[in-house]
Structure 1
């Protein structure tokens, strides 16, 4: 029996079925892609509100009017040049052994020190742990205000976990809506970016130890409930809760954070502070 050519209504009906099938297949494919992404972080970070999986460096987020939010490579917020640093880690953590005496008041806050699995430091985990501990035991740190005692404990059940994270993990957890490497606090964890730990920040120049002291005190300050601060006295030391990783200049900080406000409105008032690592810089003197 000879086949019969379909009429126009049959052709349209067949085309419609194909279209429906194609849409359904595409939807399933997109769903599969989404399920393979890292989970969204729902916590509000004291440094950056983590809204989604961060952008990649070659695809910076867009600011007002669809313009890229990134500044020029000359911005003080960009990572300085320097040695290689751990880019990838495993997303799991191991504790750095050590416990310390208390400093400060009778209100004890315990913390442990951890390093991401797969992150290897040239001078070893213990050196990182000792540095963080020495910062938080210093009378110029948060214990110097007499309101809190910080005590290092093993990593079983501390109040706070201070973690060194690879660049990729830090970007995933801290967000990358401003396309600059940062450290952050999320709930009861502080994540120190290995990129910043190794390279520091342009605002601190070549003084890497002072930057490391700053980043520990700044992020622990967020855990203790302190928000961001601004340069209030031109020529004076920057508050430790100022975002000195980006800049110690209010004008530049206002420009950098315009696309993604960071808790506090920054006035472009021309004030410039000097880098400062400590919440109580004059304590113990």
Structure 2
């Protein structure tokens, strides 16, 4: 990584991201389950067309009953290319956490065999977990399907991730995720098979990706291993190796303590 670059790029458990301000402009209203074309960048188009993801409650309707989370797959069963259009997960949930409530929506590319409702339910569970960022009592999150929102989590084929991330100057090589603008792009290969560097269940790896990226959005930087045998911080770039730490997907431990490490430039 070159320090002289204005845009910083790094990798987490297979995730590239562009460092950016935690807050951006609200996205335009859109309808649940609307099919939208994959944007080429994080810049929202005019309000008369489907908007690209960008940052922003009234009391929402009751949440949609969660569907079972999608199970792990194999690299051979992961499609290399989808349709290039996305389906927005249906349903709006009650906010979780306190303080600033960030609204987010989940979109899944059509043709990759991943259920939007199941994925949204899993992401909602991650962000609402007591080991997650709501434990700081300063941040909260709300899953939405329409109206203004702060960011989107998109699960997409390797080809689509490469195209969207490549438009921002990132080379994801058909393998890794990226975080650009107000979009978290999750490569379906990583979503269904995990990371070879993360020794844990697929659901834990998914939690690591979501917690790390959302951590950046609320102002957290990278952290290193605090010592041999200790849990790796969620903000550690665990794809580079654990440096003696144990794999961990969560910002906070079961006892409510923050699992921190030394700051990493």
**If the TM-score is normalised by the length of the shorter chain, which range does it land in?**
0.5 to 0.7
* Structure 1 residue aligned with 2:104: 111
CA distance 1:225–1:171, change in 2 (3 Å): farther
Whole-Å separation in 2 of the counterparts to 1:100 and 1:89: 28
Unaligned runs of 5+ in 2: 1-5, 11-15, 20-39, 41-72, 258-265
CA distance 1:89–1:178, change in 2 (3 Å): closer
Whole-Å separation in 1 of the counterparts to 2:140 and 2:223: 23
Correspondence 1:145 to 2:136: yes
* Structure 1 residue aligned with 2:116: 125
* Structure 2 residue aligned with 1:238: 232
Structure 2 residue corresponding to 1:99, chosen from 92, 96, 117:
92
Retained in 2: the 8 A contact 1:155–1:161? no
Whole-Å separation in 1 of the counterparts to 2:227 and 2:165: 29
Retained in 2: the 8 A contact 1:234–1:273? yes
* Structure 1 residue aligned with 2:187: 193
Whole-Å separation in 2 of the counterparts to 1:181 and 1:174: 12
Structure 1 residue corresponding to 2:221, chosen from 224, 227, 234:
227
* Structure 1 residue aligned with 2:83: 90
CA distance 1:126–1:208, change in 2 (3 Å): same
Whole-Å separation in 1 of the counterparts to 2:185 and 2:219: 16
* Structure 2 residue aligned with 1:202: 196
Unaligned runs of 5+ in 1: 1-41, 54-79, 250-270
Retained in 2: the 8 A contact 1:161–1:188? yes
In our comparison, the structure showing a higher alpha carbon Rg is 1
Retained in 1: the 8 A contact 2:161–2:174? no
TM-score between the two structures when normalised by the length of structure 2: 0.64
* Structure 2 residue aligned with 1:274: 246
CA distance 1:151–1:283, change in 2 (3 Å): farther
Retained in 2: the 8 A contact 1:114–1:155? no
TM-score between the two structures when normalised by the length of structure 1: 0.60
Pairwise CA distance, 1:48: 4.0
Retained in 1: the 8 A contact 2:195–2:205? yes
* Structure 2 residue aligned with 1:256: none
* Structure 1 residue aligned with 2:209: 215
* Structure 2 residue aligned with 1:173: 164
* Structure 1 residue aligned with 2:176: 182
Q: Greater strand percent: which structure?
A: 2
Whole-Å separation in 1 of the counterparts to 2:204 and 2:181: 25
* Structure 1 residue aligned with 2:35: none
Q: Greater helix percent: which structure?
A: 1
Retained in 1: the 8 A contact 2:99–2:140? yes
Pairwise CA distance, 1:283: 5.0
- Aligned pair count reads 192
RMSD of aligned alpha carbons: 2.9
